[in-house]
Amino acid sequence: MKNLENKLKGLGILVVDMQETFLDEEDTQFINSQIKLLSFAKDKKIPIFFLEYIDEGEIIKELTETINGYEKYQKILKYNDNEFIVRKDEFLDFIWWETEKYILGGDSHLDVELKQNKINKIIIFGVNKNGCVKETSKEAIKRGSKLFTSDDLMNEKENKKATNWYNQNCEKYFKSCKSLISYFTK
């Protein structure tokens, strides 16, 4: 039991750009795995953060329905491919609560939320495995987070170059969401 508690301690879920705009209608099988993982997170009371690209539509309803009523969920609007990067000019036309804190401190909204929730282990997934998810992953690793993901939580399964990157850089990279969940429950 203690080992399980240690595995879940400091764990958060980061969902990147799961918006209709970015989905390929022919490549949506990964959404079922995402629903399973979000249900697991909800059951274990793991904080969930959705990154939503500004002005690109809402997070898909299959995922928002899965977390409906969950208190440890937060949507964070992003302005570029990597939410960890803060550029002052991105905030000039958009006023965010405590915006100055983020600009002056160099922390993005995501940084602040991860620190406040004491998250140092992240299960990351989303759409565009070799783009926004990878860029956000790189920065999370630079900032000291341990990353976990699985092949079936992202699209572009056939992208071997991206798969190799995750396999080499994540703390653990799993073939399936089922294996990932099993890792955190046993």
Which one is predicted more confidently, 86 or 73?
73
- 81 burial via Cβ count (<10 Å: 0-12, 13-18, 19+): middle
Question: What does the pLDDT read at residue 86?
Answer: 45
Task: Give the model confidence (pLDDT) of 130-179 as tens digits.
Answer: 888 998 898 889 889 999 999 999 987 677 888 899 999 999 999 999 99
Q: Select the more confidently predicted residue: 121 or 24.
A: 121
SS3 category, 53: strand
Phi-psi region of 108 (alpha: psi -120 to 50; beta: other; left: phi over 0): beta
Whole-number pLDDT of residue 87: 43
How far apart, in whole angstroms, are the C-alpha atoms of residue 32 and residue 72?
Answer: 21
In this structure, the number of other CB atoms found within 10 A of the CB of residue 35 comes to 16
pLDDT, tens digit (0-9, with 9 covering 90-100), for 74-128:
888 877 655 554 444 444 334 333 444 444 345 677 777 888 889 999 999 999 8
For 60, the token pair is 């898909």
Q: Which residue has the higher pLDDT, 144 or 25?
A: 144
Question: What is the domain range of residue 18?
Answer: 2-185
Average pLDDT over residues 18-26: 84
Task: Assign residue 96 the CATH number of its domain.
Answer: 3.40.50.850
Q: Alpha-carbon distance 157 to 133, whole Å? A: 13
Q: Which residue has better confidence, 183 or 91?
A: 183
pLDDT of residue 107: 64
Structure confidence at residue 106 (pLDDT):
53
Handedness of CA 26, 32, 37, 39 (dihedral sign): positive
User: Comparing 6 with 34, which gets the higher pLDDT?
Assistant: 34
Q: pLDDT value at position 80?
A: 61
Domain count, the chain: 1
Task: Give 38-61 pLDDT, tens digit per residue.
Answer: 999 999 999 999 988 888 889 999
